[in-house]
Chain A
Amino acid sequence: MPDPGTGEPLLRTAHQLIVENDDIANTLELPRLTTRLDVIREICHHLAPYQAGERPIIGATVIAKDLTIDSLAIMDMVMELEDRFDVSIPMNVVAEIHTVDQLADTILDLRAKR
């Protein structure tokens, strides 16, 4: 399965260790291996309990509007994501994030800058 973000083949995600080449995979660092898909998946996992009706959670879902999550729970979710992806997202940055896509991009940007 190619990484939808980079088009490169997916070696492994942090969740499921799909190791295609033992030697290389073990020497690679986690940062390069976290894909956009991983991040989106993790966000959706946290947002699932707040899904409103049958509407699926997609990249364009507006977190505070399309779901039943309140602002405090959003901040708590961000704290979990911070630890999962080892980045810190300042509160003023969180305030500017509206959609699932934007949240994922923010996390990936912060990871790239580390």
Chain B
Amino acid sequence: MGLFDRHAGLLEAYRDVRTTGADPFQIRMERVLSPTEAVINGRKTLLVGTNNYFGLTFDPSCMEAAIEAIRAEGTGTTGSRIANGSYSEHVFLEEEIAAFYGKKHCMVFTTGYQANLGVISTLVGQGDHLLIDADSHASIYDACKMTQAEVVRFKHNDPSSLESRLRRLGDKPGNKLVILEGIYSMLGDSAPLKEFVEVCKKYGAYVLVDEAHSLGALGETGRGLCESTGVLDDCHFIVGTFSKTLGAIGGYCVSNDPDFDILRVTVRSYMFTASLPPSIVASVRQALRVVKARPELRKQLWDNVATLYDGLAAQGFKLGPEHGPVVGVHLPDRMLAIGFWRAMLDAGIYVNVAVPPATPNGVSLLRCSVCAAHTPEQLQHMVEVMTGIGRQLGVISGAPKLRVVAGSR
């Protein structure tokens, strides 16, 4: 058997995608013009699938901070946090994030993926119990493979499903750790966190919340779902990323546990990879200041979410269950999703396409992510384009308007 034989099925399905047109998984951004526009296939394209919720990738103050840091400290640290890769700036960043959440401790990782992978797999071990939401991100599933703890899934966003699993554990020994997400990355829905926290308290379970998509977007000061639902003090661990709202790359975990720092010499994804380069640390520190100083970005984001979500809903598209910075548009199957995606790209709009097995319940989605920097006109245009394509492809009904909505090649 050849090394790639086990992927035969996937190769076959992938060939179908590649031979019929543009490959949604190999799009090249030829030139990025702004948080909302890039050149793709030689033409200017509206970006509505970049997780760049506040549009900070081109924030002048963040860019200047990064440039300055490169001049002062060079391009990379060439070492891990436990060797030569801890600069004063890494420590300052950790202090600032801890202070932002009002927690005592923070560890910064090179990606959010590594934060989840390392923290979750290290917090629980042999004899412990890890309970995860069925729609958890890949980084959480991968952490499950790395721990000796017993892992049980509960139904997505269903506190009673979690409760029955905690109840069944009875008086079995071992710690219990429950993993939740602030905003789920495919459909943009939020966890009923208050209810979940109640259940966890009742059964003495620890709570870890991944605020990857909710940092900046939720809460009065942008701290995420923990803040907006008033349970910041009840969440033992909060994980997040710098790769979305903060416009860079990196991950973090904050906690009040007095022994938290022991993770610095036990979490392998922290110990055995190089630390973030100075430029990233500098731009993230500045981005965090911007998040605190400019709450209007949060309002702009949600106004834009309403424009897109309500606009698409009014045309009859089937969407995720609630407003969120991620707007997931349901399509009947994989090839239709890819066809729809290609038609949108031809019309000058880029979104993500998400198909099984990367999606919950085997659904096929166009995954749109909204940016505070989008103009209402850009999003209204997108609704028109999607309405036209949706009618052409028979995804939505309704009398076609007498105008051409799809762009020409």
Contact = CB atoms under 8 A, between A and B. Distances in A.
Interface of A: 70-73, 75-76, 78-79, 82-83, 86-92, 114
A73 B362 contact: yes
Contacts of A88: 152, 165, 168-169
A86 B168 contact: yes
- Most B Cβ at <10 Å: residue of A73, A75, A82, A89: A82
Q: Which 6 A-B pairs have the closest CB atoms?
A: A90-B150, A91-B151, A88-B152, A88-B168, A72-B357, A88-B165
Given A70-B357, A79-B153, A79-B161, 16 more contacts: A70-B356, A70-B362, A72-B356, A72-B362, A75-B134, A76-B361, A79-B134, A82-B152, A82-B165, A83-B164, A86-B164, A86-B168, A88-B152, A88-B165, A89-B152, A91-B151
A70 B357 CA distance: 8
12 contacts: A70-B357, A70-B362, A72-B362, A75-B153, A79-B134, A79-B153, A79-B161, A83-B161, A86-B168, A91-B152, A91-B153, A92-B150
B93 interface: no
- Most B Cβ at <10 Å: residue of A70, A86, A91: A91
B253 interface: no
A90 B151 CA distance: 5
Contact of B357 (A71, A82, A87, A114): A71
Nearest to B151: A91
A79 B162 CA distance: 11
A89 B360 CA distance: 20
A89 B362 CA distance: 22
Interface string B158-174: 00010011001100000
Interface residues of B, number: 18
A34 B151 CA distance: 25
Contacts of A91: 144, 150-153
Nearest to A110: B168
Contacts of B134: 75-76, 79
A9 B150 CA distance: 36
A82 B360 CA distance: 19
Contact of A90 (B152, B357, B362): B152
Contacts of B164: 83, 86
B155 interface: yes
A79 B168 contact: no
B154 interface: yes
Contacts of A87: 168
A73 B358 CA distance: 12
Contact of B154 (A70, A79, A114): A79
Given A70-B362, A75-B134, A92 B356 contact: no
B268 to A, nearest CB: 20
Contacts of A92: 150-151
A75 to B, nearest CB: 6
A7 to B, nearest CB: 29
A47 to B, nearest CB: 15
A76 B168 CA distance: 18
A71 B161 CA distance: 21
A83 B152 CA distance: 12
Contacts of A71: 357
A52 to B, nearest CB: 14
Nearest to B164: A83
Nearest to B360: A72
Nearest to B147: A92
Contacts of B154: 79
A95 B24 CA distance: 31
A29 to B, nearest CB: 16
Contacts of B161: 79, 83
Nearest to B148: A92
Nearest to B170: A114
A72 B144 CA distance: 15
Interface in B125-164: 134, 144, 150-155, 161, 164
